Each structure stands twice: as C-alpha cells, then as structure tokens.
Amino acid sequence: MRLTGGKVKMIVFPSPLIIAALLLGAAILLWLQIFPAARPASIYYGYPLKGTRIMIDPGHGGIDPGAHHNGSFTEKEIVLAVSLELRRLLQQAGAEVTMTRETDEDVSRHIPGDPSSRYQRDMSGRVKLINESGADLFVSLHINYFYDTSIRGAIVFYNNSRPENKLLAEAIQKNINPVVAVNPRPDQYIHQEIKEGDYLILNRATIPGVIVEMGFITNPDERELLRQDRYRQKLAQALLIGITEYIYGRKES
C-alpha cells in the first residue's frame, strides 16, 4: 500500500497458487513455440496436479461411431486418441486418471440386464462410471456435426446445476479457442463460446464436469486438422491447461 497525491493505492499480488497455474500454462505454451513437433516426457517441474482425480469420457465407441465422414473417419477414433494423450499429460502432472473406455468399445456392459437399448445402456454406463469414480471432475470429449459446412470451432457445454461446471467450461473454452481458431477464413464461422447443455451425462452427473465438442467433422478444414496427430496433441494440451487453471482457481477460492 502506498500514498500518491494524498490518495491511498493498494498493490495486490497474486497468491502462490494462481502464480503456479500461470507458470504451468506459460511453460507449456513456451515449449510448444520452441519445439512445435515435440511430445515431451515432462514440460514442467514437479507434480502440480498431485492429489487430483480426473475422469475422462471418450464419447461413443464400439458399434457407435458417432459423427463421421463417409463412414471411414469417425468421432469415436478421434476422441479416443485425444483422451489417451490427455491422460498421459495429466498423469505426468501427478493426477490420478480414469477413463470410461480405453479401447474401441462401448460401456453398455456396465448396465447388465437392463431392457433398454444398447445406446441407452451405454449412456447410463458412462454416468455410472463417472459417479462411482470418486473423481474431482470429468470431461466428456466429442466431435460435432452440422449441416452447414462453414461452421467450425469448439463448444464446451455445461449444466448450471452447480457453479463449478461453468467455471470449468470457461477455463477449457478459453484455452482451446486459440487452437481451433487456426487459419480462420472470412467465409467460416468459428464457435468460441460456452453453452448450457441439456444432456443426460451433464444432468445426472454428481461431480463437476463438461462436454467438450472439440471441432466439426463436417468442416473440411477442421476435418483435415483432426486427422493430424500433432493437432490432436494440441487439443489435449489445451485441455490440460484449462483443467489446471480450473483446479488452481478452485483451490484459491
């Protein structure tokens, strides 16, 4: 605090937790600038997410391909690749990570004897795994589809039943936007805002979480990006930074 011209001015310094989160994000971004093709074993010191439990839900799987292009390039394969990379990064940071699926399969088997359709059992199985995980949060990863091929970008959906959901959505959307907004064209519209979503997983989850639609498979430019391993790694890195900022923000509050 200091006096200036008879007025009192307060200088406020960020807490160590906020500084740590910002330094982690800066280290990741700096590494990507210096070594854009690298897949590092570790890009920060220590284990900033130690003690945190996270559930990753790669959407679809098995006989359910999700969104697809000509039946050969599918949502289920894209989201699984990003999910496995995200798990790797989170574990490097010290987090305990579980996944609803780790291979090309659905999770309907977790709801045995239910007369519902396989798709309904799959959705219920995901909710069951999420709610029984004991995780601090979950992220459900998907790829979007829309009849207008000029639409691209990411949308993070949340349920407003708890404030943590929106905070998590905002942190992830902020960090994924620079990735999905690469090489924008004037004839395209890029989604860059969170939205409330009325989805079964969000409605029935008992822990904070979001659905992340990481791009539109119907947009030619975005579809080609989603085919690239390097781009999928960038999506996972953006998710890591968003999750980390949310966690450190919650600790601060």
pLDDT of residue 72: 83
* The token pair that represents 195 in the structure block: 């939205």
Angle at 38 between CA 35 and CA 43, to 5 degrees: 80
In the chain, where are the structural domains located?
Answer: 49-252
- Alpha carbons 138 and 130: distance in angstroms, whole number: 7
Query: Computed over its alpha carbons, how large is the radius of gyration of the chain?
Result: 19
pLDDT of residue 80: 98
pLDDT of residue 39: 46
Element (H, E) at 242: helix 229-252
Distances (CA, A) of 108 to 82, 99, 127, 175: 22, 14, 11, 32
Q: Looking at the domain covering 49-252, what would its CATH class be? A: alpha beta
Please report the sign of the dihedral spanned by the C-alpha atoms of residue 138, residue 142, residue 146, residue 150: positive
Is the CB of residue 138 less than 8 Å from the CB of residue 55? yes
Please report the sign of the dihedral spanned by the C-alpha atoms of residue 92, residue 49, residue 37, residue 104: positive
Mean pLDDT by 10 residues, the chain (253 residues): 36 53 60 47 70 97 92 94 98 97 95 86 96 98 97 97 97 97 90 96 98 97 96 97 93 71
Q: Which residues contact 198 (CB under 8 A, 6 or more apart)?
A: 159
pLDDT of residue 24: 64
Closest Cα to residue 54, out of 100, 95, 101? 95
Q: What is the pTM of this model?
A: 0.83
* The token pair that represents 122 in the structure block: 């799959």
Distances (CA, A) of 83 to 7, 10, 233: 53, 44, 10
- Alpha carbons 50 and 181: distance in angstroms, whole number: 31
pLDDT of residue 51: 95
- Alpha carbons 35 and 230: distance in angstroms, whole number: 12
